[in-house]
């Protein structure tokens, strides 16, 4: 149990376009979902935390108008990178915590590699 | 920086040897977790240790926690080539927010 999927697994887009990444908890209801970005050979940096039905909480330095997060249900959160630029190219990973189970344990998706040309 | 520190940044060992990775964090924690990441993949949860625990075992993994020094270590015994990956510690300070360390890249030579 506790499987998280992401779609797409990789995407290439042109500069100036928007890209939507989906994060789904497949077999559990997620209280909270998290979005991270990871540059090559670096650690994960938390971008934002989202709870179902409420606005996401963004970390300092993360532009909320650029990285739109929607958490419409207990099993789905989306991250939209708006007006993407080459510097937005990165590995984006989501995670989810479930309503029941080990407190604060996060289950991670497989990641989405975004390349902006 | 939000991140904790991990050392070494990279570690190369022979199959069968033990691998030790260390992690330090900055603020008081509720728990600390270790994750593994294969290249270009998502994270796999390995083990969680609570702030009132000092040591925890899971198979070939042994994690220690020293809250007075704000540090933790992950020991992988009898390493295998398949253990080659990056390993991250992640500290939880309360609620759901988790701060990741910089990671250690482990390479196990067959």
pLDDT at B98: 80
pLDDT at B1: 40
Q: Given B40, B48, B96, which is nearest A32 (Cβ)?
A: B96
Q: In angstroms, rounded to a whole number, what is the distance separating the alpha carbons of residues B15 and A73?
A: 45
Compute the nearest-CA separation of A99 from chain B (Å): 12
- In tens, the pLDDT along A11-24 reads 999 999 999 999 99
Q: In angstroms, rounded to a whole number, what is the distance separating the alpha carbons of residues A48 and B97?
A: 10
Q: In angstroms, rounded to a whole number, what is the distance separating the alpha carbons of residues B91 and B50?
A: 10
Averaged pLDDT for residues B82-89: 96
**Residue whose pair of structure tokens reads 């295998």 in the numeric block:** B80
State whether the Cα torsion B4-B94-A107-A53 is positive or negative: negative
- In tens, the pLDDT along A23-81 reads 999 988 888 899 999 988 888 999 999 888 888 999 999 999 999 999 888 899 999 99
Is the CB of residue A112 less than 8 Å from the CB of residue A22?
no
Burial of A16 from C-beta contacts in 10 A (0-12 / 13-18 / 19+): exposed
Q: Could you tell me if A107 lies within 8 Å of chain B, comparing CB atoms? A: yes
């Amino acid at each position: 149990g506790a499987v998280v999927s992401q779609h797409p697994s990789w995407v290439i887009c042109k500069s100036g376009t928007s890209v939507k990444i989906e994060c789904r908890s497949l077999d559990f209801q997620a209280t909270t979902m998290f979005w991270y970005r990871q540059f090559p050979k670096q650690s994960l940096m938390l971008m934002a935390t989202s709870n179902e039905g409420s606005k996401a909480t963004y970390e300092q330095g993360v532009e909320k108008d650029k990285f739109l997060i929607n958490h419409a249900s207990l099993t789905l959160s989306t991250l939209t990178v708006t007006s993407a630029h080459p510097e937005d190219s990165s590995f984006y990973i989501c995670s989810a915590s479930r309503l029941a189970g080990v407190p604060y344990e996060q289950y991670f998706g497989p990641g989405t590699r975004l390349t902006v040309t | 920086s939000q991140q904790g520190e991990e050392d070494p940044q990279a570690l190369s060992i022979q199959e069968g040897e033990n691998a030790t990775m260390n992690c330090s964090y900055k603020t008081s924690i509720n728990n600390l977790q270790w994750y593994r990441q294969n290249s270009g993949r998502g994270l796999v949860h390995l083990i969680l240790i609570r702030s009132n625990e000092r040591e925890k075992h899971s198979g070939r993994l042994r994690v220690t926690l020293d809250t007075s020094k704000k540090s933790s270590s992950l020991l992988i015994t009898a390493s295998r080539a398949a253990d080659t990956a990056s390993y991250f510690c992640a500290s939880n300070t309360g609620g759901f927010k988790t701060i990741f360390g910089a990671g250690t890249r482990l390479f196990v030579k067959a």
